[in-house]
A and B are shown apart, each in its own frame.
Chain A
Amino acid sequence: LASTMTKQQANWSPYDNNGGTCVAIAGADYCVIAADTRMSTGYSILTRDYSKICKLADKCVMASSGFQADVKALQKVLSARHLIYQHQHNKQMSCPAMGQLLSNTLYYKRFFPYYSFNVLGGLDTEGKGCVYTYDAVGSYERVGYSSQGSGATLITPFLDNQLKSPSPLLLPAKDAVTPLSETEAIDLVKTCFASATERDIYTGDKLEIVVLNADGIRREYMELRKD
């Protein structure tokens, strides 16, 4: 009797999880955004060389893990919207502006979400590093550092230990950005990924690091374990 009375379930899902991890750290005058380059499905590897990082504007870079088809669609929508902004305002979008646009774009699909866990990094209008972290439907917050994706549960506690500032409820309010130098922050990111790669099967192969500062944008790579 029980088998004839149970509700029909869909056996096809529009979503898939391609795994991977993203991290971003904001500094006084720089921002580091990093993600691994492994793309998986189930227990298989699709490719070891796929970038999850997208430059949306001169001073704004997004890293996203989750379902890469939705990530690609989201990146295209944001790039097109940025072009329109440039035509209308004759300038590039600032990182806080792009942060709000990303939130609105995600919530627009509240009832069929982009399966995309995003971390936005860049320089704010004063040239200070800023990081915004999102959930899949657009809830966002400016923070000093953030991690998203399959390795986030391993990395976030470690970053909390290394970077966490006192509670934001304390007065006077303390700046979210880390006092670390650019080189120290990059080293910290490399350590995070090396550790996450050990225990998370979906993280590994190669690490892509993007550094944004007053001089412009720079890209670095580091090998990770391939197993």
Chain B
Amino acid sequence: MFRNQYDTDVTTWSPAGRLFQVEYAMEAVKQGSAAIGLRSKSHVVLACVNKTNSELSSHQKKIFKADDHIGVAIAGLTADGRVLSRYMRSECINYSYSYESPLPVGRLVVQLADKAQVCTQRSWKRPYGVGLLVAGLDESGAHLYYNCPSGNYFEYQAFAIGSRSQAAKTYLERRFEKFMGSSRDDLLKDALFAIRETLQGEKLTSSICTVAVVGVGEAFHILDQGTVQALIEAFEIAGEEAPASEPTAADQPPPEPGVAADQGAPAEHDAAPMDI
């Protein structure tokens, strides 16, 4: 993607019918550290890699609880992500207050998407530079959604976003058909393996990843480091060598085919990423 005369304003179309500012915002998501999500019939697991600026600093918080039944993992501009998770919390609280019942995940995701769309159609705003993996449970079951800076959203069986996410997506693509029937522990195992794929050889320990779960009878919560380390050891995930079938370049140029269960044919190279 190169600079051109149509990319200054978010409200300027290119002759090819693209909004470059929105596409640049999606690039910001790819620069963030990896976040992955996967779901079964009764549980949804979110996991992310904790990137630190230096050894001296703490890592950024990438997983937020929105309500007992909804959580979100972000990749990209974490400040934007923090603001959006505050919005999600507020919406969940207001809905519960008015209707004495939990906000259905699908509704929240649409509200988020509409909020993001506004920023693609105002000259005085900029798109949010963050991708959100929304995990939630409602009356219709367990759900995982991906919200784009473009204002698009999709439901997924499993997905990965952020840097080196292609490695995780490839791992998940091979296995996603059996996720629906997976147990909670199997989902956690697959999540940790997928995270390991994005580390490209680096050792997986509980200090560089965060894992969160929501499920039937289990409120959304982030697993503590001790539990995660125990899981890593139990599943013998740590491993020092790079996994066998890893693709050479993790960051493919857009567009990349997602792991969506309802995905059509992969988009062409020249099509705008938001057309996926």
Binding site for B on A (CB under 8 A): 76, 80, 83-84, 87
Cα A87 to Cα B93 in complex, Å, equals 11
Chain B interface secondary structure, helix, strand, loop or mixed? helix
Kindly identify, within residues 74 to 129 of chain B, every residue whose CB is under 8 Å from any CB belonging to chain A.
86, 89-90, 93-94, 96-97
Report if B169 contacts A (CB, 8 A): no
Instruction: Give the chain B neighbours of A84 by CB distance below 8 A.
Output: 89-90, 93
Q: Identify 13 residue pairs between A and B in the complex whose beta-carbon atoms are under 8 Å apart, listed by A's number.
A: A76-B97, A80-B93, A80-B94, A80-B96, A80-B97, A83-B89, A83-B93, A84-B89, A84-B90, A84-B93, A87-B65, A87-B86, A87-B89
Instruction: Give the chain B neighbours of A87 by CB distance below 8 A.
Output: 65, 86, 89
Cα A210 to Cα B94 in complex, Å, equals 29
> What is the minimal beta-carbon distance from B79 to any residue of chain A, in angstroms?
16
Cα A87 to Cα B67 in complex, Å, equals 9
Cα A83 to Cα B65 in complex, Å, equals 11
Cα A84 to Cα B93 in complex, Å, equals 8
Most buried by B among A76, A84, A87: A87
Binding site for A on B (CB under 8 A): 65, 86, 89-90, 93-94, 96-97
Cα A83 to Cα B89 in complex, Å, equals 9
> What is the minimal beta-carbon distance from B49 to any residue of chain A, in angstroms?
22
Residue of B nearest to A77 (CB): B97
Instruction: Give the chain B neighbours of A76 by CB distance below 8 A.
Output: 97
Cα A80 to Cα B92 in complex, Å, equals 10
> What is the minimal beta-carbon distance from A44 to any residue of chain B, in angstroms?
27
> What is the minimal beta-carbon distance from A120 to any residue of chain B, in angstroms?
21
Instruction: Give the chain A neighbours of B94 by CB distance below 8 A.
Output: 80
Instruction: Give the chain A neighbours of B97 by CB distance below 8 A.
Output: 76, 80
Instruction: Give the chain A neighbours of B96 by CB distance below 8 A.
Output: 80
The 6 closest A-B pairs by CB, nearest first: A80-B93, A87-B89, A80-B97, A83-B93, A76-B97, A84-B93
Cα A87 to Cα B86 in complex, Å, equals 9
Residue of B nearest to A81 (CB): B93
Residue of A nearest to B68 (CB): A83
Most buried by B among A76, A80, A83: A83
Cα A83 to Cα B103 in complex, Å, equals 15
Cα A220 to Cα B29 in complex, Å, equals 54
Cα A84 to Cα B91 in complex, Å, equals 11
> What is the minimal beta-carbon distance from B238 to any residue of chain A, in angstroms?
29
Cα A80 to Cα B86 in complex, Å, equals 14
Cα A152 to Cα B218 in complex, Å, equals 43
> What is the minimal beta-carbon distance from B167 to any residue of chain A, in angstroms?
32
Instruction: Give the chain A neighbours of B65 by CB distance below 8 A.
Output: 87
Residue of B nearest to A86 (CB): B65
Instruction: Give the chain B neighbours of A80 by CB distance below 8 A.
Output: 93-94, 96-97
What 7 new A-B contacts, CB under 8 Å, besides A83-B93, A84-B90? A80-B93, A80-B96, A80-B97, A83-B89, A84-B89, A87-B65, A87-B86
